[in-house]
Amino acid sequence: MVNKVLTIIVGVLLVIIGGYAIYSTVSSSTRHFVASDAQGHHSSMYYYDNVDFFPQSVQAFEKTKPLAVPPRIFIVNQHILAAHVIAQQFALVADPKVTRVILITQNNWTVGRSPIITSRYGWKTHLGDIEADTKFIDVLAQKDIAVVDEDIFTTEHGITGIVSYIAHAFPHAKIIPLVVRDDISNTSVDVLADQISQLDMTDTVVIGSIDGSHYLPQYVADIHDRLTIQAIASFDYEVLPRLDIDTVPTLRTILKVAEAKKKKTFVQIGGINSADIVGDPELMITTSYFSGYFTDEKFVEKEPYTHVLFVGDIMLDRGVALHAEKYGVDSLFGKIERLFLGTHAVVGNLEGTITDNESIARKNNSILRFTFNPLFTDLLKKLKITAVSLANNHSGDFGGDGFRQTKNNLNERGIISFGSSRNDTSLSSTLLLNGKEVCLIGYHDLYTFDPTSVLAEITATRAQCSYIVVMPHWGVEYTHEPTERQKTLAHKFIDAGADLVIGAHPHVVQPVEIYKNKAIFYSLGNFMFDQDFSYATRQGLAVHIELGNEETRYNLIPISISRAEVAVAEPADRTNTLSIVAGTNLPNKIRSAILKSQSFILWNHNQINSQ
């Protein structure tokens, strides 16, 4: 029944909204705002001057019966593009007994005089008027928890797009709107949550207005959203800063209140991506929407997955450094910055050193000795890169001192490193992620042609590791096919106990192989390099794994590099890269899954492959 209603309302809203798909990128040119009036009321916003928008939205769910025990703490999305998700949520929680509604959202424009801002104005909406709960607002102001600032609410769509539904679902309620900045401290958030938690939830509702993944294609957004819903359901505060959502402080507040009120079960009601709404599955910039409520009822818990993103060669010297100097360091990964979210960890191959030495390659690009300005380490930290392999032919470009400087610079920023050019030190590191020990082992095959030390490391760490990833630096540059030596080594790694092999060095993408039900990615190609001389060196692959107890999902994300700027690959380039990855020797089911859905699943414990 719910699916049928959703289908109807999506169709209705598409007619109403028309070309409003651009709103998923929060383009100010397409929004219509109405300023506050002189009598102390804000007005809710509407689109294309359609005063029937909100009434038609709620009418689509007029036959929906509220839940028998109306939830008091829930989440809705911000963007009205997904109005049906909001309308459905409010139809299920509607309750005339509610007298107070606290609505919390992001400070989308980072304006105002305080980390937490509220309003003493009421609201005039197309679904009824609602006054402010000035008594509680004054308490927040007196305790310096929030500051009253009316001006920002005119353009804050996380509030203005929601108040109409509040007025309709809770006709006897007063509202406390709260706008929270992203840079607020956890301490301040927890103080707010504690103050809210002291209220009697018999007649109080607390709402978080939150949108999901931003600015990525739907197939990537879906991966990130799975971690978001998992984190909400498990009250995982540690992973909150890594989620691909627009307002982490809002979610933390909602979780803290739900926890204090012993509402520890999250029930998801709605979920959709803007690509689905506008009917364009190839849309490169999307936003995700979801809703749900918290309850004390017990449901079957879903298995938690550990999310790790692996990327290819990262080189930040030579042409890359010149580009960063001219256009700013943020230009390098600006188009792909949110790809690093939605994970517990990000791991890559660092193709060079980080030292105080002067760059040689910038002056003479024929000298292949790379060193990166230590300031780039701040960029890696900002991007939430967790660990990097130094098992390659450039980590020793500036000798032992350069190698030590590199490890020290990374360590100072909290970035883990493992492996070496001679396979003689720091072979492995362990990441404790979501209760699992993910062990990373580096191997460099170009200087020392003896894998004995690495095979021994795999054997020695097997008992203490939930999952072992070997990252070898091997093969022949610029060739799409792995060598026989690569294949032999990969099989030895897995025979010794490795669960996954992620290769580097060829600077182009090579196929994946399934051996003993384990995945071998022979080369991910470049992730950040200045090798603009061929199409193949400008295409790479990122692999986002979802590690579960019973199965592991491998999500393949092709990327493209253009003049030292990396982005998620456009559909045509994505298809080309996936064709290389799929190769010709995979089981038909896995090959088909890669080409159709950019992912495949392997059952753990040597069970039969499945998709």
Question: Domain with 342 in it: what CATH number?
Answer: 3.60.21.10
Query: If you search the block for the tokens 């492995």, which residue do you land on?
Result: 428
- Among candidate residues 308, 345, 235, the one with its CA nearest the CA of residue 547: 308
The confidence score (pLDDT) of residue 39 equals 64
The confidence score (pLDDT) of residue 354 equals 98
Q: Judge whether 611 lies within some domain.
A: no
Tell me how far apart the alpha carbons of residues 139 and 146 are, in angstroms, rounded to a whole number.
9
Q: Judge whether 61 lies within some domain.
A: no
Q: Judge whether 58 lies within some domain.
A: no
Same domain, 555 and 444: yes
The token duo for 104 is 């919390």
Same domain, 467 and 433: yes
Number of CB atoms found within 10 A of residue 54's CB: 27
Q: Judge whether 55 lies within some domain.
A: no
Same domain, 93 and 181: yes
- Among candidate residues 144, 157, 151, 153, the one with its CA nearest the CA of residue 176: 153
The confidence score (pLDDT) of residue 155 equals 85
Query: If you search the block for the tokens 């350069």, which residue do you land on?
Result: 402
Residues in the chain: 611
Helix axes 375-382, 399-412, angle to 10 degrees: 40
**pTM (2 d.p.):** 0.93
Segments in the chain below pLDDT 50? 1-34, 47-48, 606-611
Distances in Å between the Cα of 113 and the Cα atoms of 36, 37, 151, 553 are 19, 21, 11, 45
Same domain, 426 and 529: yes
Backbone angles phi, psi at 147, to 5 degrees: -120, 135
Select from 257, 272, 295 the last residue of a domain: 295
Distances in Å between the Cα of 219 and the Cα atoms of 223, 276, 282, 283, 611 are 7, 11, 9, 10, 16
Same domain, 381 and 238: no
Tell me how far apart the alpha carbons of residues 495 and 499 are, in angstroms, rounded to a whole number.
9
Same domain, 256 and 317: no
Give the H/E segment covering residue 593: helix 588-597
**Is the Cβ–Cβ distance between 208 and 307 less than 8 Å?**
no
Same domain, 277 and 331: no
The confidence score (pLDDT) of residue 410 equals 98
**Is the Cβ–Cβ distance between 498 and 441 less than 8 Å?**
yes
Tell me how far apart the alpha carbons of residues 268 and 289 are, in angstroms, rounded to a whole number.
11
The residues, ordered by sequence, that sit 6+ positions from 18 with a Cβ below 8 Å of its Cβ are 48
Tell me how far apart the alpha carbons of residues 314 and 336 are, in angstroms, rounded to a whole number.
14
Q: What angle do CA 247, 251, 257 make, to 5 degrees?
A: 150
Distances in Å between the Cα of 201 and the Cα atoms of 204, 221, 360 are 5, 34, 65
Segment 555-582, tens digit of pLDDT: 999 999 999 999 999 999 999 999 999 9
- Among candidate residues 158, 193, 185, 303, the one with its CA nearest the CA of residue 241: 185
Structural domain for 267, as ranges: 2-50+69-295
Q: What is the residue-wise DSSP string for 491-522?
A: HHHHHHT-SEEE-BSSSSB--EEEETTEEEE-
- Neighbour-count burial of 259, counting CB atoms closer than 10 A to its CB (0-12 exposed, 13-18 middle, 19+ buried): middle
Same domain, 446 and 585: yes
Segment 398-452, tens digit of pLDDT: 999 999 999 999 999 999 999 999 999 999 999 999 999 999 999 999 998 999 9
Select from 243, 272, 295 the last residue of a domain: 295
Distances in Å between the Cα of 291 and the Cα atoms of 80, 81, 85, 332, 583 are 13, 14, 7, 34, 40
Q: Judge whether 609 lies within some domain.
A: no
Tell me how far apart the alpha carbons of residues 93 and 293 are, in angstroms, rounded to a whole number.
9
For the four alpha carbons of 252, 253, 258 and 259, in that order, the dihedral sign comes to: positive
Q: Judge whether 20 lies within some domain.
A: yes
Same domain, 279 and 389: no
Structurally, the chain folds into a number of domains equal to 2
Same domain, 242 and 328: no
**Is the Cβ–Cβ distance between 559 and 569 less than 8 Å?**
yes
The confidence score (pLDDT) of residue 38 equals 54
Q: Judge whether 301 lies within some domain.
A: no
Q: Where would I find the H helices in 448-561?
A: 452-461, 484-496
Number of H helices, E strands in the chain: 18, 29
Same domain, 372 and 515: yes
The residues, ordered by sequence, that sit 6+ positions from 474 with a Cβ below 8 Å of its Cβ are 443, 445, 446, 483, 485, 486, 489, 503, 504, 505
Same domain, 317 and 284: no
Tell me how far apart the alpha carbons of residues 407 and 473 are, in angstroms, rounded to a whole number.
18
The residues, ordered by sequence, that sit 6+ positions from 57 with a Cβ below 8 Å of its Cβ are 9, 13, 83, 84, 86, 87, 165
The token duo for 177 is 């709107």
Tell me how far apart the alpha carbons of residues 531 and 538 are, in angstroms, rounded to a whole number.
7
Q: Judge whether 264 lies within some domain.
A: yes
CATH code for the domain in which residue 275 is found: 3.40.830.10
Tell me how far apart the alpha carbons of residues 287 and 483 are, in angstroms, rounded to a whole number.
41
Select from 295, 328, 353 the last residue of a domain: 295
